[in-house]
Chain A
Amino acid sequence: MEEIAAIQLARDGNTEALRLLFDENKKRIFSLAYQYVRNAEDAEDILQETFIKAYNSLDKFHLQDGASFSPWLYRIGINCSIDHIRRNKRRKEHSSQIDNLENISSHNSNSDPEETRGKTEMLEKINQTINKLSGRQRMIFILRHYQDLTTKEIAEYLSCTEGSVKRQLFRAVQAMKQHLKGLVMEKGYEMQEV
């Protein structure tokens, strides 16, 4: 079924068409949300919220402008993620750390305990640093570093200038460099001249 037809049918309340749009886009939205909030439960909430919002706004999506559904939905996903963090800031910081530690332990049950501990520690530090970034700065960093979007694409999604994205990205990377310094040195990542 064509995407346009699916959108038109979904607008009229056709559940199968909406399910099709959900299946085609669920993984991308979930991965963005997961990388942003750092835990699966909240990422599922964001995914649901994104689709409910998109469904309720389908009549605002302009098919005739040649617009594509996925970027439109992705933009809603970005906004829902930022909103979610704003709403659940305190709760999230605590639970995401626990969640991540559990994830690491389960993913690495067969590996060297020392290595697992080292990775857990590193991930915890990375999460702490990411949590310290402002919502927008964090989103820019996630979109560039984990979602592989260019600064130009990010600027379009966030409706701001490319220069502003570059500045925020630089600050986010600087924060990473500063907060991870001790740990990087401790783990023997010695400096190299280029």
Chain B
Amino acid sequence: MKCKKSKEKIVLYLYGELSEKEKAEVESHIKECPECSRDLAYTKKIFKVLDEAKEEIPEADWEKCWGEIGNGTEEKPGRQKRFLFLPQWAFAAAAVMLIFIAGIFAGKYWFFPGQKSPLQQTVSTESLNPLLKEYFDSLKPVLVEYANYTPSEKGEETIAMDKEAARSLLLENLLLRRIVSKFDPSLGQLLEDVDVVLKEIANLKKEDRRTPSLIRELIHQREILFRMEILEKI
């Protein structure tokens, strides 16, 4: 074992992080190498100093903390209530969208009587394709913008526009999700992930500089754009 490697392993040795084999290798090297032996002794001393200077954790003012938590959480009650913060026009838009979707299924049955009725026929991704495409077309620019977000590029006005767009997309997402989740779990999961991202955008605050980066990470981590692309190609 080389000394450089040994010095790295000495730290892990003292933390008890080495396997039996690695431990034996370090011990054998130390016996032969005075420099590493001194390094081990010195690292042990440093650990001792750190332990001796370890501070007692003081008791926090738990009631004060709890009070502050109460103040910080009362404005944002759970998921359902957050949904109610949406403007009235949003509910109207949701109703129009629902009628539109219902119209597509009714029309298909009316004009193609040979086909099974919507009650007999399970809704398929195929029948939703035009809607999904339209939805993805509106969604993609918003997601791409956040996927490529770099700090300090968003002004107050842009954030306000993004929030408005996200709220409108959230409603469409909700309706689509309700329909597709029963027959296409992977699409349902994708829409659920999109829902999380859109909620973050819809709740953005101009002073919160970290959230856009988190949204970017979320889009990348969950591979949302990539999954959308795959679905569009199928």
Contacts and interface: CB of A to CB of B under 8 A. Distances in A.
Interface of A: 11-13, 15, 18-19, 22, 26, 30-31, 34-35, 40, 43-44, 47-48, 51-52, 55-56, 58-60, 83, 100, 103-104, 107, 119, 122-123, 126, 144-146, 150-151, 166-167, 169-170, 173, 176-177, 180, 183-184, 189, 191-194
B17 to A, nearest CB: 6
Contacts of A19: 66
27 contacts: A13-B77, A19-B66, A22-B66, A35-B57, A43-B60, A52-B73, A55-B73, A56-B76, A59-B79, A100-B55, A103-B58, A119-B53, A126-B49, A146-B54, A150-B17, A167-B8, A169-B15, A173-B11, A176-B46, A180-B46, A189-B49, A191-B41, A192-B41, A193-B34, A193-B38, A194-B37, A194-B41
A11 B72 contact: no
Q: How large is the interface on B (under 10, 10 to 19, 20 to 34, 35 or more residues)?
A: 35 or more
Contacts of B20: none
B209 to A, nearest CB: 10
A42 B217 CA distance: 27
B42 A191 contact: yes
A151 B52 CA distance: 23
Interface string B1-42: 000000110011001010000000000001000100110111
B68 interface: yes
Given A52-B72, A119-B53, A192-B41, 5 more contacts: A12-B78, A22-B66, A44-B60, A51-B72, A184-B42
Nearest to A176: B46
